[in-house]
Amino acid sequence: MLKTFFALLLIALPLWALPKVVLLKSVGANNVMRFLDKSQPFYCYTAAINTHETFLDSNATSQACKTQMHLQLRRDPIMRYAYAYALHEEIAYTLEAYEGNSCFMWLDGGRTWSEYLLEKGYALLKNSHSEAFIKTTLYAKLQRAQERAKYEHRGVWSDETLAECFRWLP
């Protein structure tokens, strides 16, 4: 029991001291990244948004919506592999903890990875956030990024049915 506690503490410890600069080791998808902090590897999930991976893995998503998402991914393959075009492994990024094991990764130009995905229409804001987070400037930036994608019919916003399906995620 005590051994498990210390193992979990060592895994979570890098996230408690954020914001901090860490090395991006690998990216498995748009919503999960592996970092290295002082020789200690850890995973961080993209904060405050639902990506297509979240959408397809959710039990709340209907089969019709999943089919629609697969069609969208065929039409826009960059949506599936946005990380390969925008992120660079073995480069240092600044992370800021959010909730649990999710974080905001800051890109050049003062944008977060979450904001980038929202702006491209590759993700949607989650429906539930804390009152404190909703009052932040960062939340306002995320909302504006999503509104731009919606206005320009980018990514999931290019298909009304798909955008409606996304809205049912928590």
The pLDDT of residue 118 is 97
pTM of the model: 0.86
The pLDDT of residue 149 is 97
The number of distinct structural domains making up the chain is 1
Instruction: Identify the segments of the chain with pLDDT beneath 70.
Output: 1-18, 170
Domain that holds residue 102: 2-166
pLDDT tens track for 130-159: 889 989 999 999 999 999 999 999 999 999
31 vs 136: CA distance, rounded Å: 22
Strands 123-125 and 92-97, bridge-based pairing:
unpaired
The pLDDT of residue 7 is 45
The pLDDT of residue 170 is 67
Dihedral-angle region of residue 159 (phi above 0 means left; psi in -120 to 50 means alpha; beta otherwise): beta
- Cβ–Cβ under 8 Å, residues 15 and 103: yes
The pLDDT of residue 14 is 47
The pLDDT of residue 15 is 46
The pLDDT of residue 129 is 87
Of 170, 153, 156, 162, the residue nearest 64 (C-alpha): 162
The pLDDT of residue 119 is 97
CATH number at residue 132: 2.40.50.90
First-residue to last-residue Cα distance in the chain:
33
